[in-house]
Amino acid sequence: MFKKAALLLAPLALIVALSVTACGKVPGSGSTSGGGGGCASSQTIGLATTDFAVHCVTVKANMPVTFNDPTNGGGVHIICIGHNGACQAGATGPKDLLGSGFTIQPGQTHQVTFTTAGTYHLACTVHPNMNMTVIVQ
Ligand SMILES: [Cu+2]
């Protein structure tokens, strides 16, 4: 009996996990009640040693967004608008996130301000698996 319940719950857990990671793929321009398509609102983007601490945030336009990494174990990041470790040529957004991006050392903070609403995908050229979505409202 217990085994049967576990079998039923396993796919359910998978669906929940998938819907959480789906954040950012379907931002939804209409937006649901300020939730930004499931992304938490924050003006801070934490950094861990080899990844963003969050993979989706909703931020306000014309307000500084702070990248910080108080728990960074030693990773240097070079962050830009892009995907899978490659900066996107011709991207638009905050100056520091264009071109080859900006470098942030362990323990440092760095502020950028998005002036235009939209969905931005951030990458790190040091860590190709390091991706996140910023929804600017
Ligand atoms: Cu990185």
Query: Residue 105 Cα, ligand 1 centroid: separation in angstroms?
Result: 10
Q: What percent of the chain has pLDDT over 70?
A: 69
> Cα-flanking dihedrals φ and ψ of residue 99, to 5°?
60, -125
What pLDDT score does 72 carry? Answer: 60
User: What value does the mean pLDDT take over residues 23-38?
Assistant: 45
Residue 1 — pLDDT band, cuts 50, 70, 90?
very low
What is the rounded distance in angstroms from the CA atom of residue 88 to the CA atom of residue 24? 17
Q: What percent of the chain has pLDDT over 90?
A: 61
H helix or E strand, kind and range, residue 41: strand 40-41
- Tokens representing 117 are 């609403």
Query: Residue 48 Cα, ligand 1 centroid: separation in angstroms?
Result: 8
Residue 16 structural domain: 2-136
Buried/exposed code over 104-118 (b: 16+ C-beta within 10 A; e: otherwise): beeeeebebbbeeee
Query: Residue 115 Cα, ligand 1 centroid: separation in angstroms?
Result: 24
Cα torsion 51, 55, 61, 66: sign: negative
User: What value does the mean pLDDT take over residues 114-135?
Assistant: 98
Q: What is the pTM of this model?
A: 0.72
Query: Residue 51 Cα, ligand 1 centroid: separation in angstroms?
Result: 6
Residue 37, Ramachandran bin (φ over 0: left; ψ between -120 and 50: alpha; else beta): left
Query: Residue 103 Cα, ligand 1 centroid: separation in angstroms?
Result: 9
Cα end-to-end span (Å), the chain: 49
For residue 90, what is the domain's CATH number?
2.60.40.420
- Residue 1's CB is within 10 A of a number of other CB atoms, namely 4
Number of structural domains found in the chain: 1
